[in-house]
Chain A
Amino acid sequence: MKRGAGPRRTSLFRKYFATLFAAVVAPLLIAGGSEAWLGYRDERARLNDILNAEARLAAVKIDDFLDGIREQLGWTVQLPWSEESGERHRLDALGLLRQVPAVESLTLVDAQGRERLFVSRIGLNRIDSRADLSLRPAVQGARANGAWFGPVRFQGGSEPFMMIAVAGNRSSVGVAIAEVNLKLIWEVISGIKVGRTGDAFVLDGPGRLIAHPDINLVLRADEAGQRPFQALRGAILDRPGEAATGRDVAGETVLAAMAPIPSVDWSVIVKQPLAEAFGPLYGALLRTAALLVAGALLAAGLAWWLAQRMIGPIRLLEDGATRIGAGQFDHRIELKTGDEFERLASRFNEMAAELRVSQERSQRIDRLKRFLAPQVAELVDRTGDDSVLDGRRVELVVVFCDLRGFTAFSVRADTDTVIMVLRRYYEVLERAVNAYEGTLIRFSGDGAMVLLNAPVSVPDPALRAVAMAGDMQRDVQELLAGWRALEGRLGFGVGIAMGPATVGGIGSEGRLDYTAVGNVVNLASRLCDNAQDNQILVDLVAAQAIGAASPLVPLEALDIKGLDQPVPVFAVGTHGTQPAK
């Protein structure tokens, strides 16, 4: 039974636990998950905006650098060329070199496109070489658009240079062409910081690195080494306006955005390590995850506790039921949950108490059965009422009977024959007692004592007693007819007396007997003693109770030991033989 109950109990606990746990964790997970997802989307959008803004800002800064040079160049193309203006132009040009460190050399061209002045930091200055530069793209470009930006070249295969040409607002002022060392953008680009460690770099149209916080990467002018930059730009161009993820030169995953500088067809790209960019988000996710874990643990604890609370009483009840079922009726289920379980437990306890009472009763009845006629015992059993066994005084019919000459027979016969004879004799008596609902109090040797009307009331007890005694005589005489061969003096007599007597269970704890106490018992016993073989003696009270229902023959009054006067005696039957004195 325990083996069968084990798995079922576990599964119920699991069911409760799983249900309660799921009830708490599922909403928690849904809330946490959706928050994380929304957080990621918002953060991604926010980063997109930030990086795009940073890229535009960086582009503005780079553009400012170029614009600054262009503006400064503008000052050198204010004055129209004349024979006297040479010195003024020279001073302007030298002033520009002094002002703008990025300009390595400056060429001033007059309205006809001839070189009028060349000043350099490194080479010798030239004045009025009048070389025709009118077909140079710089001159033509500047004249057409006001300003012209040449392609980037890497001097000595290393340093990026670019030509910037600016035309004045009148053709007579000519064109200024500056050779600009783009290495100096480094100061601008290294000043741009995105977040904590993010930075910016600049690519020209063909994708060559022009500016990077690590100047070495620029100076290396290494096509293969610059592929990651181009790949990053490609990734951004694939989805315009959105920040893209990619890898930088160091192989780190970065989030990058781009802004163009249209005048020179450059791209300014800002990047931030993904880990840093998403740092706050990761922090938030981590917090959410921690909360989820904490929530799940709490839910598990709660579910455990609740399931335990559910299952604990059930286990107690089950255990109690098992014990009670096993017969421990004094077991009590201690449950103070204040709910249905407690009610159920008290029902169990009540049941146990009732079972105990009924067990005690059935034990008592079992004991009763030993000296009650089976019908009587059954009656007591059926009604469940053993109060009949309580001591009380009733109008009683007592029947005594015994065998005559049995002592001599038992001496002569062998033991087996004696036992067999007694067994047959007892069987006959018992059949008769049972037939008339009498109560067999005891056999003692060859005698027997039988009560009628106690403990179970029967109608006409005296008449019944006579009828019963008649049956006994008839059957016993039949037996005796067979046994007289062994002992000729064998006989059987019966005495019946009626009167009030005290009946009840009398005895100690170890041994309880149901018996009757009173004169009537003595009388019945004396009548039996006085009865001759095949005779049934009845006292006056019984005879009166019988009346005419059965033929009785009055006999001489008998002197009974313990009684002062002779007692009237009747014999059952149509003729009477005076009993022996």
Chain B
Amino acid sequence: MRFLRGTFADTTHRLGRRGFIALAGCASWTASVRAQGLPVIGYLGSESPERYASRLAAFREGLADAGYTEGRTVAIDYRWADGQYNRLPALAKELAGLPLTVIVAPGGAEVALAAKSATAKTPIVFEMGGDPVALGVVESLSRPGGNLTGVSSLSVEVSRKRLEFMREVRPTASRFAVALNPRSPTSDTQLKNLQAAALSLGVELVVLKASAEVEFDAMFTATRDEGAGGLVFSSDPYFAYRSQQLAALAVRHKVAAITQSRDFPLAGGLMSYGGDFSQSHRQAGRQAGRILKGEKASELPVQRVTKVELFINLKAAADLGITVPLSLLTSADQVIE
């Protein structure tokens, strides 16, 4: 920090007293970074830096792929919603008011949409599951058109596959619970997909809704009470970022559950099937890097991360008295024993 302090001192010296007072009034760190002439990325996170830690690491790798290092060749100005998604629009507006080179809005459609409504000028790189065209984020995948481009993973599209995998684990069950976050912009699409899948699989769905942590416990209780074979989580970042919590609940309630995030089986949950977030966040970093280099968001096609990974926790399966069929083990990208 000696370097930064030096720059800061220089800046204040040059600005004089009035400048210093004004500077002290502002977010002084960002101001001093800007004084160094680095391009600045505005980073809008829906959760806390701790929950985003692995995603941030992947994002920084992506920036490094494009030749940027935080603090040295690029500065990042963070805004965190700490799980309160209704704060996103205000935070996005705040970022939109800053002279940023690009806003990165990763972690789902809600973040992307909040950023989109905040500015039509500053380029925005999103990272989300679901179809960005259907959600109205971009005009087309090949030519996004506006000031947004980004990365889309297949997480939302594959929620029906989760039901299929759960069915394979519990072939005898005829009822399955589905967890939805009603606040998610993709919940309707996912529910339709799941219902269609249930129809073709010949199973009944129990739809459970939760949009806050306090409602989690009730979902697991309801799954058991309804006699459902398992709990299938729809793709939703709110759920994904709380995989540890959900895994703990699943273990406590002895409920077979599948989510989109590998963090869930890694924390003791049964299974996960979804896009590889480290890949998608890394891609987002690369996209941001290309915009920093001067490319237009409207010209950068939306990148789809096609990799979808299946994680299975055999210990959880054993605890639940489940024998994982060979077909699942064959398909699994990682089997946790």
Contact = CB atoms under 8 A, between A and B. Distances in A.
A and B: bona fide binding partners: yes
B327 A90 contact: yes
B161 A95 contact: no
Contacts of B331: 94, 97-98
A122 B306 CA distance: 10
A216 B293 CA distance: 15
B200 A91 contact: no
B125 to A, nearest CB: 13
Interface string A88-131: 00110011011001001000000000000000011111000000
Interface string A72-98: 000000000000000100110011011
Contact of A104 (B140, B299, B306): B306
B205 to A, nearest CB: 14
Interface residues of A, number: 28
Centre residue among B197, B299, B301 by max chain A CB count within 10 A: B301
A87 B326 CA distance: 10
A125 B302 CA distance: 27
B304 interface: yes
B272 to A, nearest CB: 14
B314 interface: no
Given A122-B154, A219-B141, A98 B327 contact: no
Given A98-B333, A159-B304, A219-B301, A122 B327 contact: no
A157 B301 CA distance: 10
A121 B306 CA distance: 9
A156 interface: yes
A221 interface: yes
A87 B327 CA distance: 9
Of B140, B197, B302, B330, the most chain A CB neighbours within 10 A belong to: B330
Contact of B308 (A91, A122, A159, A219): A122
B302 to A, nearest CB: 7
A530 interface: no
B164 A124 contact: yes
B187 interface: no
Contacts of A95: 330
A181 interface: yes
B90 interface: no
A222 B143 contact: yes
A215 interface: yes
B138 to A, nearest CB: 11
B142 A157 contact: yes
A216 B160 contact: no
B307 interface: yes
Given A94-B331, A222-B143, A216 B300 contact: yes
Contacts of B143: 220, 222
Contacts of A90: 327
Nearest to B167: A124
Given A124-B160, A219-B301, A156 B327 contact: no
B201 interface: yes
B278 to A, nearest CB: 15
A145 B44 CA distance: 54
B303 interface: yes
Contacts of A222: 142-143
B157 A220 contact: no
B307 A101 contact: yes
B98 interface: no
A158 B301 contact: yes
Contact of A158 (B201, B302, B330): B302
Given A104-B306, A121-B308, A159-B304, A221 B164 contact: no
B24 interface: no
Nearest to A215: B303
Nearest to B295: A216
Interface string B307-337: 1100000000000000000110011110000
Counting chain B CB atoms within 10 Å of each CB, which of A94, A121, A122, A221 scores highest?
A121
B4 interface: no
Contacts of A159: 141, 304, 306
Contacts of A154: 142
A183 interface: yes
A92 B158 CA distance: 22
Interface in A213-263: 215-216, 219-222
B333 A157 contact: no
Contacts of A219: 141-142, 301-303
A159 B332 CA distance: 25
A156 B303 contact: no
Nearest to B299: A220
B202 to A, nearest CB: 12
Interface of A: 87, 90-91, 94-95, 97-98, 101, 104, 121-125, 154, 156-159, 181, 183-184, 215-216, 219-222
The 3 A-B pairs with the shortest beta carbon distances in the complex, nearest first, are A219-B301, A158-B141, A158-B142
Given A101-B306, A124-B197, 4 more contacts: A91-B327, A121-B154, A181-B306, A184-B306
Interface of B: 133, 140-143, 154, 157-158, 160-161, 164, 197, 200-201, 290, 299-304, 306-308, 326-327, 330-333
23 contacts: A91-B326, A94-B327, A98-B330, A121-B158, A121-B161, A122-B308, A124-B200, A154-B142, A156-B133, A156-B141, A157-B141, A158-B141, A158-B142, A159-B141, A159-B304, A159-B306, A181-B306, A216-B300, A216-B301, A219-B301, A219-B303, A221-B301, A222-B142
